[in-house]
Amino acid sequence: MKLILHTDGGARGNPGPSAAGIVIENESGEVVRELGIFLGHCTNNEAEYQALIHGIKTAQSLGADRLSCFLDSELVVKQVNGLYKVKNTNMKALNEKVTKLKPFFKEIDFTHVPREKNEKADKLVNEVLDASK
């Protein structure tokens, strides 16, 4: 089964309080799961990675064996696709978690999208952060 994953992560203050937004759709574009998760204190980039990790695990639990991931973090997409090296220690550990999840799928890809194409996930991040004040 193929699913489409949209994730976003954000931190207010960078670093600061952070959250993940996860939207999973089937191939017809119907939303099958939405999650907003408070992540605690981290950077924007760490939140982006954590959102992706939570999203991949959630898609796996829904039975996906093929997954298309869409993120508005160009940095994270280029790192998980091996185009950029990961130098930061925290980011390296998060990148390794993504790498370890890849073999659970017959097919998995990561694509950068503009923020306006990731509105639902972005909205979930802001709702969680607003509620955590």
Contact 122, 115 (CB under 8 A): yes
Query: 96 near 82, Cβ under 8 Å?
Result: no
Q: Token pair for residue 9? A: 């992560």
Q: What is the pLDDT of residue 86?
A: 97
The structural domains of the chain, ordered by start, are 2-131 (3.30.420.10)
Give every CB contact of residue 43 below 8 A, 6+ residues apart in sequence. 11, 14, 15, 18, 90
Residue showing tokens 């799928």? 105
Cis peptide before 17 (omega within 30 of 0): no
Confidence check: pLDDT of 11 > 80: yes
pLDDT value at 133 more than 80: no
Per-residue model confidence (pLDDT) at position 124:
98
Q: From CA 93, how far away is CA 77, in angstroms rounded? A: 15
Q: Tell me, what's the pLDDT at 48?
A: 98
- Measured CA to CA, the distance from residue 14 to residue 40 in angstroms comes to 12
Helices (H), 2-132: 44-61, 74-80, 89-101, 119-131
pLDDT digits (tens, 9 = 90+) for 15-69: 999 999 999 999 999 999 999 999 999 999 999 999 999 999 999 999 999 999 9
CA dist 19 and 132 (Å) reads: 10
Q: What is the pLDDT of residue 82?
A: 96
